[in-house]
């Protein structure tokens, strides 16, 4: 209803503007327009129209001359008149105000009397019936049969069929649009989900589509969820945990999705015996979610570090537990040192870099060789960084008080 009223108001405003145009066009000092001046303008337009008709061939020369002579005769007769009676009323502003107020009121009254105002609310509240939806989808399908290259249309049809649980037709529509589908992670995941719902299994074509989606976007949430489910179904629990931990980073911590992911991650760990006795999988994906960088010692602190002093390179969850997610040891003599930390370096199998949202990376020279930070140790940090960060540069440039 709101849209109708806005449209009606715009049409009314345009109509009033056109009707009021003569008042706008009047110039100062010309408030009285004579009938003779108006006649001259009319005759001038008529002569111009005659010339156009002759040029276009609608009038021959004889008829043109006869009509022109008649117009000129009337013009001469009117020119002899000295009637300066104004055509525009003597109170134009009052007339304009009355017209601008009266027309909207009159229009509203006529609609209330002759129209059906209640229909506006009914139209605004109208819910599409299943028959309406079926007709629209059928119309789109018929249109696309004559427009086979309309990929966006085929995608729309595929999603419509999928929502209507017409799986076979949805699959056909996805295939028609596959040149577009294979370039979009979301469309690939939707298509994989459709195929899996038909067969009851993600193995085969659905998993291939999911892999293609993750190649386009490694953090695509739905694809990570489906990939984890596929791995879980084939009892590759470590891989399932890996995918679901990556998915967990994409959802709000307190959301229902986060709780569900945490629950199935726990289940996968239990089924795969992925506790302390079984470290996380050293897969390429887990490694790719690690961090890499270079550690060096500030020149001003070199005199305070012996070549045999121990260096700890640690990754902690930003804002989380002080317990490191991953750690490595080195010696001052190894500096400057290129390092990498990933899930294979996890201190505890249940807490990994790939599961963290952001990370604090620390490099510390321990004078005692103890993992616990003590006064006199030399330290450098960088934060926050995301899992998968590369080319980090950490300078050990501070002394612990």
pLDDT on residue 261: 82
Residue-wise pLDDT tens for the chain (401 aa)? 555 556 566 666 666 565 555 555 544 444 444 555 556 666 676 777 767 777 776 667 777 677 676 766 666 555 555 444 444 444 455 555 555 566 666 666 555 555 555 555 554 444 556 676 777 878 888 888 888 888 888 888 888 888 887 888 888 888 888 888 889 999 999 898 888 877 777 888 899 999 999 999 988 988 998 898 888 888 898 998 999 988 888 888 777 677 778 878 888 888 888 763 344 444 555 555 789 999 999 999 998 998 888 898 989 888 777 778 888 888 898 899 999 998 877 766 667 888 888 899 999 998 766 667 778 889 999 988 998 899 999 999 999 88
Name the one residue in this structure whose structure tokens are 């020119």. Answer: 79
Read off the tokens for 379.
Answer: 């330290």
Read off the tokens for 148.
Answer: 């086979």
pLDDT on residue 116: 54
Decide: 327 and 345 in contact? Cβ < 8 Å: yes
Task: Work out the burial of residue 155: count CB atoms within 10 Å of its CB; fewer than 13 is exposed, 13-18 middle, 19 or more buried.
Answer: buried
pLDDT on residue 281: 45
Strand 359-366 versus strand 378-385 pairing type: antiparallel
- Domains in the chain: boundaries: 2-123, 131-271, 289-399
Nearest in space to 369 (alpha carbons), one of 308, 319, 322: 308
The class that CATH gives domain 131-271 is mainly alpha
Angle at 343 (CA atoms; ends 362, 203), nearest 5 degrees: 150
Nearest in space to 365 (alpha carbons), one of 305, 321, 319: 305
What letter would DSSP give residue 250? Answer: T
Q: What CATH code is assigned to 289-399?
A: 2.60.40.1120
pLDDT on residue 31: 44
Read off the tokens for 51.
Answer: 């010339």
pLDDT on residue 23: 54
pLDDT on residue 338: 93
Read off the tokens for 74.
Answer: 């009337």
Radius of gyration in angstroms for the set of CA atoms belonging to the chain, rounded to a whole number: 40
* Range 319-326 contact pairs with CB under 8 angstroms and sequence separation of 24 or more: 319/358, 320/356, 321/351, 323/347, 323/348, 323/351, 325/351, 325/352, 325/353, 325/356, 325/359, 326/290, 326/352, 326/353
What is the pTM (predicted TM-score) of this model? Answer: 0.40
């Amino acid at each position: 209803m709101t849209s109708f009223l806005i449209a009606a108001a715009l049409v009314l405003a345009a109509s009033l503007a056109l009707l009021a145009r003569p008042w706008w066009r009047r110039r100062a000092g010309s408030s009285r327009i004579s009938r003779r001046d108006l006649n001259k303008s009319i005759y001038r337009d008529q002569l111009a129209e005659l010339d156009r008709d002759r040029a276009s061939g609608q009038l021959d020369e004889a008829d043109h001359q006869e009509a022109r002579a008649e117009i000129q005769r009337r013009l001469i007769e009117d020119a002899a008149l000295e009637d300066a009676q104004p055509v525009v009323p003597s109170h134009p502003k009052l007339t304009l105000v009355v017209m601008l107020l009266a027309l909207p009121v009159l229009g509203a009254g006529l609609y209330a009397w002759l129209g059906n105002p209640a229909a506006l609310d009914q139209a605004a509240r109208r819910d599409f019936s299943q028959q309406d939806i079926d007709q629209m989808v059928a119309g789109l399908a018929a249109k696309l049969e004559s427009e086979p290259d309309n990929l966006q249309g085929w995608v729309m049809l595929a999603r419509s069929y999928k929502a209507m649980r017409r799986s076979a037709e949805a699959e056909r529509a996805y295939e028609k649009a596959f040149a577009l589908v294979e370039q979009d992670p979301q469309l690939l995941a939707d298509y994989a989900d459709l195929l899996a719902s038909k067969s009851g299994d993600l193995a085969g074509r659905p998993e291939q589509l999911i892999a293609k989606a993750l190649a386009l976007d490694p953090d695509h949430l739905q694809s990570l969820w489906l990939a984890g489910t596929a791995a879980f179904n084939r009892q590759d629990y470590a891989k399932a945990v890996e995918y679901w931990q990556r998915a967990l980073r994409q959802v709000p911590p307190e959301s229902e999705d986060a709780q569900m992911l945490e629950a199935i991650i726990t289940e996968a760990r239990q089924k795969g015996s992925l506790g302390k006795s079984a470290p996380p999988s050293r897969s390429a994906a887990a490694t790719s979610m690690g961090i890499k960088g270079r550690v060096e010692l500030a020149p001003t602190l070199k005199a305070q570090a012996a070549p045999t002093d121990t260096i700890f390179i640690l990754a902690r969850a930003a804002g989380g537990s002080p317990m490191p997610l991953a750690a490595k040891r080195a010696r001052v003599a190894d500096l400057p040192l290129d390092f990498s930390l990933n899930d294979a370096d996890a201190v505890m199998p249940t807490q990994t870099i790939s599961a963290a949202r952001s990370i604090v990376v620390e490099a510390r020279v321990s004078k005692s060789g103890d993992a616990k930070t003590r006064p006199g140790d030399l330290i450098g940090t960088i934060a926050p960084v995301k899992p998968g960060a590369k080319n980090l540069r950490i300078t050990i440039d501070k002394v612990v008080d």
